[in-house]
Amino acid sequence: MLNYLDLPDDMRKSLQNLYEKTKVHDPQITESRFLQVIIAQWLEMYVVAKQEPLHKNKAVLHNDLKMAIRISGKTQRQISQETGINYVYLSDVIRGKYEPGIAFVLLLMRALNCPPARLHDLFFLEPVP
């Protein structure tokens, strides 16, 4: 799929290299899904969405930690050991059983080499259905 994109060769090769590195961390990712994620992240910089305020009782915190950990090339156990976060608690947060505190989030982001500015990629609020 990447070979069929109408892009300069150097850009196509860069995307291909990035895809191959991503595939090492997530062997099941397809070129199509990879491009969806890349394009979504790029567009995010340009799209300013007006969001309605959410009340605490009408919002639920979700996370994409499972994917972030997979992409990091680490295991949940390694993250737990690096950060001192209890493995069971980490697992429960990933499954949405608990809402973590800010210290937990910052430790986790550091262990995942994720800059704090990307917090919204790992944790996000959605209205309760």
Same-domain status, 61 and 117? yes
- 45-55 per-position pLDDT tens digit: 665 556 678 88
- Whichever domain contains 112, its CATH number is 1.10.260.40
Q: Does residue 50 belong to any structural domain of this protein?
A: no
Report d(CA 66, CA 94) in Å as an integer: 6
pLDDT at 36 over 60: yes
pLDDT value at residue 37: 84
Report d(CA 74, CA 53) in Å as an integer: 36
Q: Does residue 51 belong to any structural domain of this protein?
A: no
Q: Are 109 and 116 in contact (CB under 8 A)?
A: yes
Residues spanned by the domain of 10: 2-44
- 101-120 per-position pLDDT tens digit: 999 999 999 999 988 888 88
Q: Does residue 72 belong to any structural domain of this protein?
A: yes
For the chain, how big is the Rg over CA atoms in Å?
A: 17
Q: Does residue 21 belong to any structural domain of this protein?
A: yes
Q: Are 112 and 68 in contact (CB under 8 A)?
A: yes
Same-domain status, 100 and 65? yes
Q: Does residue 112 belong to any structural domain of this protein?
A: yes
Same-domain status, 38 and 84? no
Report d(CA 40, CA 20) in Å as an integer: 19
Can you give the pTM of this predicted structure? 0.60
- How many domains is the chain partitioned into structurally? 2
Same-domain status, 40 and 60? no
